Structure 1
Amino acid sequence: VMVNSVDFGHLEEVLQVMPRVLPPVEAGDGAVYTPLPLHDELVDVLEQLDFVVKNLSELRKEVEELRNSLQNLAAEIVCEVRSHLEETQKVSRRRRFPFPRERSDSTCSSSIYFTASSGAANTDDGESEGGYSTANAESDYDRESEKDSEEGEDEVSCETVRTARRDSLDLVNEDETHLVLDSLLEEGLEQLLQQADRLHSGDEQEKREGFQLLLNNKLAYAEQKDFLWRLARAHSDMCELTDDADEKRSYAADGKEELEIALQKWDQSAECHQWYAILCGQLSEHESIQKRIQTGYVFKEHIDKAIELKPEDPQSYYLLGRWCYQVKYVVAGHCVIQNLSAFHLGC
């Protein structure tokens, strides 16, 4: 700004009236000195200053345009993230997942390496007043109520998206943009984790929905510790729910891989150690006896670490007790095999 205020026109007028070459000057000793041509030098300086001022002005315009572009881009990112979160929550409430509803009265696996919870799955079958079984005990009133509730939730979600877009236009600088994005991601993560815990505690269909929900949000929260161990837990749930051996092995291996990455960053997480041990056990169910014995030591190591980090968690003690029982069973079986072998050799 100070450079622009220089009056170059006045300097040009002065240069026009100045002589291009000053007259010779006689020194006291009789020698004559001829001064250098100052006019040309001043013209060169003036042209250089004018060139610098023009470049500064253009640079200032480019910086201003770049700042405006960054603010617009930040506003668009905020709108897209908010819209994605609202759409994800709306879809999860409608429960539009490609998994068929399964009904089973069988209990969960009794393997010591599986999750500690077990019980019969809930069914949707009902019985009418006359004693006849119906395919669905849900009444028309319940369906209408659910439909009205979904429409109300959709309206609230749309209004939330519109509000988020209006708020995003009020951004002032990049610092405020980062604060808004961080706050938005934390709020969305908290809601996602609560919903994942609720679905994990439900029946088979809800566990499948919880797995798909976490899988859909992996790109956004792959660097969050609490998200990763819940994703691994969902892999463990899917390993229990499927009957195909290859699918069981695939789910267990994928979940174990997720926690191997997580433990490199968060070695002090009791949940990461606990579910890593469970997934190691599930994966060993499809391996050789020697490999299962080796995995048993890894299982106990991580369960002990989980108890050390979170001694108030009863599930870790339950898993450790099941492991001790299984070890005793294996040792007893090994002794029986040795006695039978010795008996046959003696015969």
Structure 2
Amino acid sequence: MDIRKLEIPSQVNLLSDRIRSREQVSLDADDMALEDDELDDEEDQKESGLEASDGSFEKQKFSREQREHNRAMNVKRKRDFVCLEKVNGEMVNILEGLELHTEVLNAAEQQKIVDKVYELQEKGRKGELKRAFTPQGKGRSAIQFGCCFNYRTSKDGKPSGILRDETVDPLPFLFKEIIRRLVKWHVLPPACVPDCCVVNIYDEGDCIPPHVDNRDFLRPFCTVSFLSECNILFGSNLKVEETGEYSGGSYSLPLPVGSVLVLNGNGADVAKHCIPEVPTKRISITFRKMDESKRPLWFTPEPDLHGLQPLPYEPIIWLL
């Protein structure tokens, strides 16, 4: 019915009440669940892969659960990475345990997350976040949620790792939606649900030096990529030369936008990794689970991340 044709006040009031009721129970635009994006009929049918023989899409409406299952089944997963290096006198596949999952986030979802990151970056500039910083020189802006983490021993003697007595902001709701998807879609195991993250915001020329992630964080952990594709470099002998260039890299892996790189096994603990200078603006979010004995003293687990389980299907592994 066209609202403009409603002339009876009681009908108008009833409609207004319904709208207000929906607004009260819904989340604001920035905190909408990823699965709650409404798709038009054509997009629903394209995602389902169902097309009528005459070229028109079938007039069938799929539930949110069906759409999610179809999209999860279409995620491409690569796990057969190989790069042999001599480590402690033995030839080792330094990429064992590495996984790349693509088409995890569509363009609309990526944009929603990027917009949220820019909003958080602005809050950080205003001093409204507890742990947001921009390092001097080549580097990247970073915002930490869930725990405060030292990348290296600080000038005041605090060691690298989780700082248990310092507070940070909790995970934003939208980031918890990403975590839920990663577990439900068989990207991360339910035994290692992330409880913290760091947002990295790169400008052109920014980078991350070679490192192995601190053992205060469990394995696996993962990095989600946004805005532009860049390469991540792996090597057991990666190092920074006096010129600032990286040497010793043995394997360069492109990270497509919307993809998730999972680091585990040798890929997390034997191979160092780095992000060379990026050619254009990039955003990444690295999700990790803290070792319980290393958690901040004030930390309380997120109740809505408890008991997550993957969808009941067997993912397809792509040999690319």
TM range (shorter): under 0.3
**Greater length-normalized contact order (CA 8 Å, ≥ 6 residues apart):** 2
TM-score of the superposition, structure 2-length normalised?
0.25
Q: Which has the larger radius of gyration?
A: 1
Between Structure 1 and Structure 2, the one with more strand by share is: 2
